Amino acid sequence: MPDSIVIQKPVGAAHQLILLFHGVGANAQDLVPVGKQFAAKFPTAMVVSLEGLQPSDFGQGRQWFSVAGITEENRPARVAASMPAFQSMVQELQKVSGVSAEKTTLIGFSQGSIMILESTQRKPVLAGSVIAFSGRFASAPVVAPAGVAVHLIHGDADPVISVDSSRIAAKQLQALGANISLDVESGMGHGINARMLTAALDKLADQK
């Protein structure tokens, strides 16, 4: 994965693996500042920002699945088509780092969050925790991912993916018996601010 960016590689054995997945039209570089915050907090973690699977339909950057003509009806199939390659990326880095799925954290923003959330509904289990900024499920979750802590973080003024997506997902996952938390940032649009980042760092620290 030559276009992905290794933000931190510990001198010794990595004790954790933290992988970041950007939104549509962005690239691996966009989440490097976020990744650096996690690297500072978790010095024994291997931290990597991954590059989307396809060139973006927007003409710049990358994407995990096509958004051209996207609808509620066709989104699940597009995510499903991209999922095997997504899973392979994660598993390859687990092999390279020597870190198990249990000690892996997937962090997504927007379309990246869709991919990591949908991955929790499939086997094999890829991570012990997922942190989804400004995301949603493509389809309503149907299982509580075993051994996975799901953290949803969303601005309540998001005009791109409504905060209701995270609120609904949190209720659905809770009803399924999942390990779920939801943080809503007042007045925040489609992005990640300092308070949202701190919430994510604290959630992962508390989990470990």
DSSP H helices, 42-150, are: 75-97, 111-119
Catalytic residues: 110, 158, 190
Within 10 A of 102 (CB to CB), how many other CB atoms are there? Answer: 12
Can you say how many angstroms the Cα of residue 76 is from the centroid of all Cα atoms in its chain? 17
Within 10 A of 42 (CB to CB), how many other CB atoms are there? Answer: 21
CB 78 within 8 A of CB 84: no
Helix, strand, coil tally for the chain in percent (to 5)? 35, 20, 40
Beta bridge partners of 49: 5, 20
Long-range contacts of 80-84, Cβ-Cβ distance < 8 Å, separation of 24 or more: 80/118, 82/53, 82/54, 82/115, 83/115, 83/118, 83/119, 83/122
Contacts of 148 (CB under 8 A, 6+ apart): 120, 125, 127, 128, 129, 130, 178, 179
CB 144 within 8 A of CB 154: no
